[in-house]
Structure 1
Amino acid sequence: MILLFFMLISGQVMAADPAVVESEEAIAAGKTVFNANCKQCHKLDQKYTGPALRGITERQTIEWAKSFIVNSQAVIASGDDYANDLYAEYNNIVMPSHTFLTDDDLNNLLSYIEYGDKVDPAAAAAAAGAVEGGGAGGGIPTEYLTVIVAVLVVVLLLILVVLGLIISVLTKYLHKQDLDEDDKEFVNQKLDLGKVLKSDVFVIVVTALVVALVAKTAIDGLYSVGVQQGYAPAQPIAFSHALHAGQYEIACQYCHTGVEIGKSANIPSANICMNCHTHIQNVGGKEGISTEIQKIYNAVDNNTPIEWVRVHNLPDLAYFNHSQHVKVGGIECQTCHGEIQEMEVVAQHSSLTMGWCIDCHRQTEIAASGNEYYDKLVQLHSDSKDALKVKDIGGLECAKCHY
């Protein structure tokens, strides 16, 4: 359900259906269907791009709900008052048909909508209050850290002043004592800065520091060759991941369709953008098509691809397979790409160096549970006290990544 799942309020009460049940299996299966088709536009207990969904089985019949999910436009065209009222309320935005969903999929989906991920209202209100009030656990504000550093600097200066006063007092005291000539000469000696600067020890120390600094700078420069960490190029369209993946929680796999089935995650084509932007033409309640969205329309009308600028780029000598890591390994996108759902402009988060990859292979445990492919490996590794990691299945072999 990419856009709307028009289910709000109605006086109708649904008869009980044994297929829509509160069971862990049905709820888990329904959540999978929801995340793949509905999550982009709907939440269970609050309005989002579309209306809140929970309680539909108390407002409409199950058959009505299933019919609407499968083909909402057919229900609207039939003259159904409830469907037409909602269609008008949400600016005539069309929800795509879902004829590929089986009856079991629909039953599981409705089970999840009614019984899944229930939130305690009191706890939710308390959490919201804590966020709004900047409650505990939010970390130390930057201003406080600045004050702490300033206080430490002042304390260090005071210590130096105190040490200077102590030396002055001790010097005056020793002057009043009956000292021999050698001791008097030592107490009365003055610091000769010129001799210090010309001394062999000072020259050696300064030279060693300069050489070490130059060497470190040169080595850091060599290690940074080909490393584009932090690279954030301007794109032809100002696409915001913070808006799409963050605020609207659109799954990465919806746009990057190859991430679970192939080597490359692939950049989405304009037709994927148009799945939503055929209807969503602006933001903030403005009229007309926004400048950035118009660029998508232009690309489609002119049958030309959008020339996105590649951000993450491995050298040709390195082999990396997205499906192997995401589908088989269960690695989250944020592990390599950072908090992508918070980025207005995408930047390369990780260094993507060989050392970075090898270190990950040394530390990452194999997600072997429920994967028959690893049964033999787990059995062979059973005598070891350590967890089975990528390095134990050839993750450090040169030929795994270089070919």
Structure 2
Amino acid sequence: MLFKQLLIQKSYSDRIRSHKRNLKRNVTGSAFCFALMLLVFSTITVLSTQSVYAQQDTTAQTTTDETAATTDGADAAAGASPEVIAQGKELFDGNCAQCHAVHKKVVGPALNGAEGRWGSRAATINFIKYPERTINSGNAYAKKLYDEYQQYMPNHDFFKDEQVAAILDYISTVPVPTAAVAATGGDTGGGGQEGGTANSGLLLGIVIALIAILLVVALVLVVLTSVLSNYLKREKLEEDENTVVTQSIFDFKAFFTSPGFIGVVLFVLVAVGAKELFAGLWTIGVQQGYAPTQPIKFSHKLHAGLYEIDCKFCHSGVEKGKSAVIPSANVCMNCHGELRRGSPEIQKIYNAIEKNEPIQWVRVHNLPDLSYFNHSQHVKVGGIECQTCHGEIQEMEVVQQVSLLTMGWCINCHRQWDVNAKGNDYYDNLIKLHESTSKEPLKVEDIGGLECSKCHY
């Protein structure tokens, strides 16, 4: 009987000891599982939210494209002939687009409906050719424009009346941009940028909230573990039970001083160091991010971005030859002969003209002398936009080099870029030969774009 009681007490004591031994491990395991589940839930939430926003963006883009498609027939509705409209567009782009847009105000007023505001085409033509004289004559609408913009538009008396009429015909055929439709209350994606910003903020808030919850839960579990450990330490426990309670679940000191951990750390340090060393060697001679201080604080964000002045107005050689051309002071005077003449930066242009000295602009994009690059071949023939190589230039206050401009960077472009053969009979036979042997589009590399002599003298 006594032996049986001893066996029962021993069994009970073993169960208690086993329970206490696993208490801390169970709490820690529960904390880990809860944290893992919370992390998985956070990831699923983020991915689901991004998927919804991406779908919304796609829907908005589709709607915008459909709205834009409804304006394709605007030119056909104009009374003027296509030749006159084409002439008007050419004259507008070359003389008016630097200060005016058709459907929104930039440097000057929007030109849509100008004839209606002036009352007749003859009055409109007269003002365009002789704006200062019209203002000084006391014309009420001309005086109103001057009071609003506080500047004279340059005379355009070099135009014939027929040329100004062609410009007006072209203006009447320009469709309202989808962005303008959205601004007037249409639902073609208006407010999409604001919605995207709000969505991004909401997503960031959700992630931060989940991380905060995870940290709070982890802190609570640590406190509970500490409280339970202290409670058990105050109990009268046997020596082996006390050892279980007081022992560390994870021996950090032994882990961090183990040969395996030290070896992994050394390997990572050596690998990262070697990677950075080779990366540094590859960047020798690369000026990506170079943004020198210029003698005049010229803002591309203001001119190309806000005022939407075409790059070709200042860089007139981009479609004609190898160099895009750094504009001379007289190009600046096309506008600043009248605009903002009192600005300290504009005065620097006047000083250069008075001294008959060029403005000492600092070149940003430099290629080695052994390399040949032709702007007209890429822009005029290839149809490549300036932003492809120069980045979002219309958003830069200070111009910087965005692309690598290395040989590998150029070669990758030649491998990936489709040849722009539209309207160019030169490529007709090449395209036929290529299509007879391949179903892939004709790339620049297929017409000799990787030959050394194409880029090197």
Which of the five TM-score ranges fits, normalised by the shorter chain? 0.7 to 0.9
- Within a 5 Å distance, the mapping from 1:340-379 to structure 2 comes to 340-379=393-432
Can you list the C-alpha shifts for 1:2-48, whole angstroms capped at 9, x where unaligned? xxxxxxxxxxxxxxxxxx72566654553333222111222324544
1:231 to 290, 310, 330: 290
Give the deviation of 1:332 after TM superposition.
0.7
Q: Give 2:308's aligned amino acid.
A: E
CA shift in 2, pair 1:195/1:48, >3 Å: closer
Q: Does residue 126 of the first structure (1) align with residue 180 of the second (2)?
A: no
Greater Rg, structure 1 or structure 2?
2
| Range that drifts further, 112-121 or 290-299 | 112-121
Distance 1:377 1:162 in 2: 71
CA distance in 2, matches of 1:50, 1:128: 28
How far 1:295 moved relative to its partner?
A: 0.8
Match of 1:381 among 418, 434, 438: 434
- The equivalent of 2:379 in structure 1 is 326
Distance in 2 (CA, whole Å) between partners of 1:362 and 1:164 is 60
| Other structure's SS at 1:258 match | coil
- 1:194 positional shift: 5.2
Which residue of the partner structure matches residue 336 of structure 2?
Answer: 277
Query: Which residue of structure 2 lines up, in the alignment, with residue 111 of structure 1?
Result: 169
Deviations 1:61-84 (A, max 9, x none): 445545655x42697599695797
1:394 to 448, 452, 456: 448
CA distance in 1, matches of 2:87, 2:111: 17
**CA RMSD across the alignment:** 4.2
2:312 partner letter: Q
- Residue 148 of structure 1: how far off its partner (Å): 1.4
Letter in 2 for 1:399: S
**Distance in 2 (alpha carbons) for counterparts of 1:78 and 1:27:** 32
Matched with 1:7 is none
Q: What residue number does 1:172 align with?
A: none
Q: How far does residue 204 in structure 1 lie from its aligned partner after superposition?
A: 2.8
SS in 2 for 1:44: coil
| Structure 1 residues 132 and 291: alpha-carbon distance in aligned structure 2, compared to 1, 3 A threshold | farther
Change (3 A) 1:158 1:224: farther
Deviation at 1:380, TM superposition (A): 1.5
**1:337 aligned onto 2:396:** no
Partner residue of 2:89? 31
My pick for the range that moved more, 357-366 or 114-123, is 114-123
1:90-114 CA-partner distances (Å, limit 9, x unpaired): 55624243636794x5443222212
More displaced 10-residue stretch of structure 1: 235-244 or 110-119: 110-119
Q: Does 1:211 align with 2:297?
A: no
Query: 1:88, 1:205 → 2: CA distance?
Result: 74
Match of 2:280 in 1: 221
Moved over 6 A (4+): 77-80, 127-134, 159-166
After TM superposition, the score normalised by the length of structure 2 is: 0.67
Deviates more, 1:105-114 or 1:353-362: 105-114
Gap runs ≥5 in structure 1: 1-19, 170-183, 283-288
State the Cα distance separating 1:242 from its structure 2 match: 1.0
Deviation at 1:346, TM superposition (A): 1.0
Q: Mapping of 1:231-270 within 5 angstroms?
A: 231-270=290-329
Compute the displacement of 1:137 (Å). 3.1
Task: Say if 2:182 and 2:189, in contact at 8 Å, map to a contact too.
Answer: no
Mapped partners of 1:339, 1:244: distance in 2: 13
Residue 174 of structure 1 corresponds to: none
Per mean C-alpha deviation after superposition, the further-off stretch among 43-52 and 260-269 is 43-52
Distance 1:123 1:92 in 2: 31
C-alpha separation between the residues in 1 aligned to 2:150 and 2:139?
A: 16
Question: CA 1:56–1:94 in 2, change beyond 3 Å: closer, same or farther?
Answer: closer
Equivalences, count: 365
**Would the aligned equivalents of 1:229 and 1:348 in 2 still touch at CA under 8 Å?**
yes
Q: Is the 8 A contact 1:270 1:296 kept in 2?
A: yes
Partners in 1 of 2:132 and 2:217 — Cα distance? 81
Displacement after TM superposition at 1:341 (Å): 0.9
Rate the CA distance shift 1:230–1:161 in 2: closer, same or farther, 3 A: farther
What percentage of residue pairs aligned between the two structures are identical?
49
Q: State which of 348, 363, 366 in structure 2 corresponds to 1:313.
A: 366
Question: Secondary structure of 2:195's match?
Answer: coil
Shift of 1:299: 0.8
Q: 1:295 aligns with which of 341, 345, 348?
A: 348
Secondary structure of the 1:226 match is coil
Instruction: Look up the match of 2:98.
Output: 40
- Other structure's SS at 2:101 match: coil
Which residue in the other structure is 1:179 paired with?
Answer: none
- Aligned with 1:136 (options 177, 188, 195): 195
Structure-1-length-normalised TM-score: 0.75
User: What does the per-residue CA deviation read over 1:287-344, in whole Å, with 9 as the maximum and x for residues that have no partner?
Assistant: xx12111111111111111111111111222211111111111111111111111111
Tell me if structure 1 keeps the 8 A contact 2:383–2:420: yes
Are the counterparts in 2 of residues 76 and 83 from structure 1 also a CA contact under 8 Å? no
DSSP 3-state at the match of 1:296: helix
Larger deviation: 46-55 or 333-342?
46-55
Q: Structure 1, residues 163-219: CA drift from partner, whole Å, max 9, x if none?
A: 9999xx9xxxxxxxxxxxxxx99xx89755555445443343222112101101101
Alpha carbons of structure 1 residues 101 and 202: separation in structure 2 relative to 1, 3 Å: farther
